[in-house]
Structures are given as C-alpha cells and as structure tokens.
Amino acid sequence: MQVEKEVKTVLKKEKVSSEKKEKNSEREKIIVLKGVKKVYRMGTERICAVDDVSFEIYKGEFCCLLGTSGSGKSTLLNLMAGIEKVSSGQIIMKGKNIHHMNENRLAKFRQKYLGFVFQSYNLLNSMTALENVEFPLVFKRVPNKKRRRMALEMLKKVGLEDRIKHKPKEMSGGQQQRVGIARAFVANPEIVFADEPTGNLDSKTSKEVMELIQGMARVNKQTIVMVTHDNKLAEYADRVIRVFDGKIISIEENDHSQKKEESDVNDEIAQVNKETSNEETSNDINNNDINNKDTNKEEFTEEVINLKKAEG
Ligand code: ADP
C-alpha cells in the first residue's frame, strides 16, 4: 500500500514537471531579459552588479528573485522597473524595449502597467492611509469620488477600513505595509514589483503580508516579481530565480498543487502507518517485521524503475 502510494507520488512529480515545461513554452512572456549587464563605476573601480543575465517572466506568475545580500537582486528589479538604465542588453516588457523609451514615455508606462511594494513602505507621512492609497490614481486622472471609492475598497480588502484616517506614524509596520500593498494594487497594475516586502516585519506579520500579496495577485491574474533573501518567503512564488554574484545560478518551479498532493499522500501514509503499527502492537512486533521495512524500500525502488521503463 505504502509502496504503491510512493510510486504514485514519484510518477505524478515527473508528469507535473514535464507538463509545466510544456505549459511555459505556450505562456505569454510579459518580461524578457536578454544579456542584461549593469556595471557601476566607483572612481577607478568597476562593479558588475548584473552580469549577462537572460530569463523570462510569464504573465500571471509569481516570480521570486532569491539571493544573499549584494548578489544583484535589487539592481535587477530596478532595471526591470526602468528605475535604472542597463549598461548593455535588452529588457522587453509587454513587447516593448523599456530602455528605448524616453523618461516621459517610461513614466507613463510605469503608471499604466506597474505597481511597487517597498521594504520601507515609502508612504507619504503627511498623508492619511486613504490619501496614500489614492495617490497613484491621481496620476491616472481618476475623478475624485471614484478615486476615494476605489481606495476605500482596497483598504477594506487589506483589512484596514478602521484605519483610513491614520497617518503612517500612527500605524504598526504591518499596517503600513498593508497600506503599501493597497497602494500598489489599487490601480490594478499588470505587474507588481516587490523589493523585500516583509524585510521590516516579524514572522507572523510577514506570513500575513505574503498571503495578502499572493491572494491579491491570484484574484486579478497579476504578475508579481519579488526580491528576497529568505528561502521561506520564496516558497510563496511559482518560480524561483536564484541570483549569485550578478548571475542566475538556477531557475526552479514551486509546484503548490503538487506540494498539497504530496502532503495529502503523506497524511494517508501516516494514517496507514498508524493503523499498521496499532495492529502490530496487538500482535507483538518481532524483528522480521522491522526487516520488512528495508525489503519494502528495495521493492519500491525496483517498482519505480519498472514503471519508468513501462512508460518508455
Ligand atoms: P542585493 O539586492 O542582492 O542585495 P544589489 O543589487 O543591491 O544587491 O547590489 C549588487 C552589487 O552592486 C553590490 O556589490 C552593491 O554594492 C553594488 N551596487 C548596487 N548599487 C550600486 C550603486 N548605485 N553604485 C555602486 N555600486 C552599487
């Protein structure tokens, strides 16, 4: 029984991984980086913060740039957001080379398609939560009343309807970041960039904030590009791009549905083990039974090999 389930899990894993690869080749590429380099000059020193990087981000996915401090993640994010200029290479966003745009066009592009969540929230201290969330809509020339209604709705979604008149200093870090998230999502941008969004928060609040970002993006099929140094936070993403020394060292898929299935299978296995162990206790366990465990393992490995062969 246990062997059968483990075989099923292995086969399912392989199937999902090949299905994912197939699906990715069909998906719309919303951001494409081709041979991107960023070199900073400090006096006579040259710092290559991003070193010949190429990858794609798909529409609607939650993508994470993961790496230790100084690895080049924030520079990459700033390049994708058009905040910094590339030294060489191309960044194509929604089919347009953003580094061919002049400042004016780039600013309009950002307003139309992009949202930002920052580690230090970047709220305007003189404004209330409501005014902060309304802010991006002012640039989009949304009329007053509609603006207020949209901001209110958004603050409700992040659970802050009772804090709309509070200024940033009158709120906790977690509440300020919720305002930051409401502001990033209020204009329904296609892409949201988040730079260490939970960097200043405790672990419980971090989890809440991550679930909020993930949930918001899923509902509206938005693309999230998040930078973090934290492996745990990377688990929220669909794909993890590992950065080291300005280079991409790996790109991995996180399969949430598979994880759930695996955990369901593990639960079932645990249940079977529990029942078996209850039976064994009443029948007096002997050494032969313990040795069976190893035999099971060997049978399992053999069965996987045979099934793989049968699948061709
Ligand atoms: P991370 O976000 O992974 O911590 P960064 O992208 O901030 O890394 O930095 C990558 C490298 O580029 C680091 O060595 C950093 O010191 C350098 N760097 C970043 N910004 C600048 C800058 N404006 N001028 C000079 N060097 C910079």
**211-248 pLDDT per residue, tens:** 999 998 999 899 999 999 999 999 999 999 999 999 99
| Minimum CA distance residue for ligand 1 atom 21 | 40
Cβ–ligand 1 distance for 40 under 6 Å, the answer: yes
Residue 20 structure tokens: 């994912």
| Same domain, residue pair 240 and 271 | no
| Minimum CA distance residue for ligand 1 atom 13 | 70
What whole-number percentage of the chain has pLDDT above 70? 74
91 within some domain: no
CB 33 within 8 A of CB 54: yes
| Same domain, residue pair 180 and 306 | no
What whole-number percentage of the chain has pLDDT above 90? 67
Residue 289 structure tokens: 């039974």
224 within some domain: yes
- The helix-helix angle for 173-185 and 144-157 (nearest 10°) equals 130
The helix (H) or strand (E) run that includes residue 265 is helix 256-282
Q: Tell me how far the alpha carbon of residue 67 lies from the centroid of ligand 1, in angstroms.
A: 12
| Same domain, residue pair 237 and 281 | no
Quickly state the pLDDT bin for 9 (edges 50, 70, 90): low
The secondary structure of residue 52, as a DSSP letter, is E
Q: Does residue 280 have a pLDDT over 60?
A: no
CA 243 to chain centre: 14
Q: What is the pTM of this model?
A: 0.77
Interatomic CA distance for residues 287 and 28, integer angstroms:
58
| Residue 138: predicted pLDDT | 92
234 within some domain: yes
| Same domain, residue pair 65 and 211 | yes
Residue 66 structure tokens: 């993961």
Angular region, 101: left φ>0, alpha ψ -120 to 50, beta rest: beta
| Same domain, residue pair 143 and 224 | yes
Q: Where are the beta strands (DSSP E) in 103-245?
A: 114-118, 191-195, 223-228, 239-244
| Same domain, residue pair 79 and 104 | yes
Cβ–ligand 1 distance for 49 under 6 Å, the answer: yes
| Residue 66: predicted pLDDT | 98
- Structural domain range at position 291: 259-311
80 within some domain: yes
The helix (H) or strand (E) run that includes residue 184 is helix 173-185
Ligand 1 atom nearest residue 69's Cα: 4
| Same domain, residue pair 245 and 285 | no
SS3 204: helix
Question: Best substitution site from 42, 47, 66, 69 to test ligand 1's pocket, by max atoms within 8 Å of Cβ?
Answer: 47
Of 24 and 28, the structure prediction assigns the larger pLDDT to: 28
Q: Tell me how far the alpha carbon of residue 64 lies from the centroid of ligand 1, in angstroms.
A: 18
| Same domain, residue pair 158 and 198 | yes
Of the listed ranges 109-118, 174-183, 249-258, the one predicted with least confidence: 249-258
Residue 71 structure tokens: 């690895």
